[in-house]
Structure 1
Amino acid sequence: MPTAPLWVLVTLQATIAAASMVVEIVAGRMLAPYVGMSLYTWTSVIAVVLAGFSVGHWWGGRLADRPGVDPMAATGWALAAAALTTALAGAALRASAEPVLSAFPQPVWGITGLTLAAFFLPSLFAGIPAPLLTQVSLSGPSRQGQALGAMFASGAIGAIFGTLLAGFVFISFLGSLWTLAAVTLVYSLGAALCFALAKRFRLIEGVTTVGLVGLSVATALSPSPCTIESRYFCLQSVDVSANPAHITRAMVIDHMVHGISAQDAPDVMFTDHAAMLDALARIRAPNSSPSSFLIGGGNYALPRAFAHRGLTQTTVAEIDPAVTDLAARDFWFDPQSAIILHMDARQALRTDTTRFDIIIGDAFTDTAVPQHLVTREFFELIQSRLTPDGSYLMNVIDYADRMQAVGSVVTTLRDVFPVVEVWAEARRPEPGERVVMVIAAGRAVTPVDSFVVPAPERTSFAALGAGFVDRIAATGFLLTDDYAPIDRLVGPRD
Structure 2
Amino acid sequence: MDAATPLNNRIAAGLVFLTSGAVLVLEIVGLRLVGPYVGVTLSSSTAIIGVALAAIAYGAWTGGWLADRRGDPRRLLSPLLLLGAAATAATLPIVRVAGAWLRDAGPSSVLLLAAMALFVPAALLSAVTPLVVKLQLADLAHTGRVVGRLSSVGTLGAITATFATGFVLVATVPTSVILLVLAGVLALAGFGFGGYWRRTGNLSAAAAFVVIGVPLGIVTPSPCDVETAYTCAAVGEDGGEGRVLFLNGAQHSYVDLGDPKHLEYAYTQWIGSYVDGLPAGPLDVLHVGGGGFTLPRYVAATRPGSDNLVLELDPALVELDRRRLGLRTGPLLRVETGDARAGLRRQPSASRDLVIGDAFGHLAVPWHLTTRELVTDVRRVLRPGGVYALNVIDGPARRFVRAEVATIAAVFPFVTLVAPRPALRGETGSNFVVFASTSPVRAMPDSLTGEELRAFVGGARVLTDDYAPVDQLLTWD
- Does the pair score TM above 0.5? yes
What is the TM-score of this pair, normalised by structure 1?
0.90
- 1:34 and 2:33 are equivalent in the alignment: no
Q: What amino acid sits opposite 2:241 in the alignment?
A: I
- Preserved contact between residue 406 and residue 476 of structure 1 (Cα < 8 Å): no
1:167-206 per-position Cα deviation (integer Å, ceiling 9, x unaligned): 1122221110000011101211221233234x2122x536
Cα-to-partner distance string for 1:68-99 (whole Å, 9 max, x where unaligned): 3x322212111111100110101111222344
CA–CA separation in structure 2 for the residues paired with 1:140 and 1:195: 25
The aligned runs of 1:248-397 (5 Å cut-off) are 248-283=242-277, 285=278, 288-309=281-302, 310-336=304-330, 337-353=332-348, 355-397=351-393
Q: CA deviation at 1:429?
A: 6.0
Alignment partner, residue 455 of structure 2: 471
The worse-fitting range, judged by mean Cα deviation, of 351-360 and 377-386 is 351-360
Name the amino acid aligned to 2:375: F
Counterpart of 2:416? 421
Match of 1:47 in 2: 50
Which amino acid in structure 2 is aligned with residue 468 of structure 1? E
In 2, are the aligned partners of 1:73 and 1:194 still within 8 Å (CA)?
no
Deviation at 1:219, TM superposition (A): 6.4
Residue 228 in structure 1 maps to residue 226 in structure 2: yes
SS state at 1:50 partner: helix
Q: Report the secondary structure of 2:202's partner residue.
A: helix
Q: Which residue is 1:457 aligned to?
A: none
- CA 412–208 in structure 1, closer or farther in 2 if over 3 Å, else same: closer
In the other structure, the counterpart of 1:154 is 153
CA–CA distance in structure 1, aligned partners of residues 63 and 181 of structure 2:
24
Cα 1:92/1:428, change in 2 over 3 Å = closer
Q: How far apart, in 1, do the equivalents of 2:181 and 2:279 lie?
A: 56
**What amino acid does structure 2 have at the position aligned with 1:482?**
D
Mapped partners of 1:446, 1:338: distance in 2: 26
Q: Distance in 1 between matches of 2:210 and 2:420?
A: 55
What is the correspondence of 1:137-148 to structure 2 with a 5 Å cutoff?
137-139=136-138, 143-148=142-147
| Equivalent AA in structure 1 for residue 301 of structure 2 | H
1:197-256 CA-partner distances (Å, limit 9, x unpaired): 4x2122x53685587478776466444221011111111011123xxxx32110001121
- Determine the C-alpha separation between the residues in 2 that align with 1:126 and 1:42: 21
Structure 1 residue 492: Cα displacement: 4.5
Moved more, 78-87 or 132-141: 132-141
Q: Which residue of 2 aligns with 1:115?
A: 114
Give 5+ residue unaligned stretches, structure 2.
none
Partner AA of 2:285 in structure 1: S
C-alpha separation in 1, matches of 2:425 and 2:450: 21
Query: Match for residue 130 of structure 1?
Result: 129
Aligned partners of 1:395 and 1:437 also within 8 Å: yes
Match of 2:202 in 1: 205
Report the CA distance shift for 1:219/1:13 in structure 2 as closer, same or farther (over 3 A).
farther
* Matched-pair identity in %: 27
Distance in 2 between the 1:303 and 1:28 partners? Answer: 31
Distance 2:97 2:423 in 1: 38
What RMSD, in angstroms, separates the aligned Cα atoms of the two structures?
2.2
Separation in structure 1 between the aligned mates of residue 241 and residue 131 of structure 2, nearest angstrom: 59
Contact 2:82 / 2:190 at 8 angstroms: preserved in 1?
A: yes
Match in the other structure for 1:73: 75
1:410 aligns with 2:405: yes
Cα contact 2:87–2:213 (8 A) shared by 1: no
Of 481, 484, 487, which aligns to 2:465?
481
* Residue 382 of structure 1: how far off its partner (Å): 0.7
Equivalent-residue separation in structure 2 for 1:172 and 1:465 (angstroms):
44
Instruction: Kindly indicate whether the alpha-carbon contact (under 8 Å) linking 1:64 and 1:135 is maintained by their aligned counterparts in 2.
Output: yes
8 Å CA contact 2:6, 2:137 repeated in 1: no
Q: Distance in 2 between matches of 1:113 and 1:289?
A: 51
Aligned partner of 2:188 in structure 1 is: 189
CA distance in 1, matches of 2:81, 2:401: 49
| 1:59 CA displacement | 1.1
Give the Å deviation of 1:101.
4.3
TM-score, structure 2 length as denominator? 0.93
Give 1:351's aligned amino acid: R
When residues 100 and 340 of structure 1 are mapped into structure 2, their CA distance, relative to the original with a 3 A threshold, is closer
Question: 1:399, CA displacement in angstroms?
Answer: 3.2
SS of 1:369's equivalent? coil
Distance 2:12 2:372 in 1: 52
Shift of 1:424: 1.5
Q: Assess, with a 3 A threshold, how the Cα gap between structure 1 residues 289 and 99 changes in structure 2: closer, same or farther.
A: closer
Letter in 2 for 1:155: G
Q: Is the 8 A contact 1:72 1:194 kept in 2?
A: no
Distance in 2 of aligned mates of 1:407 and 1:386: 23
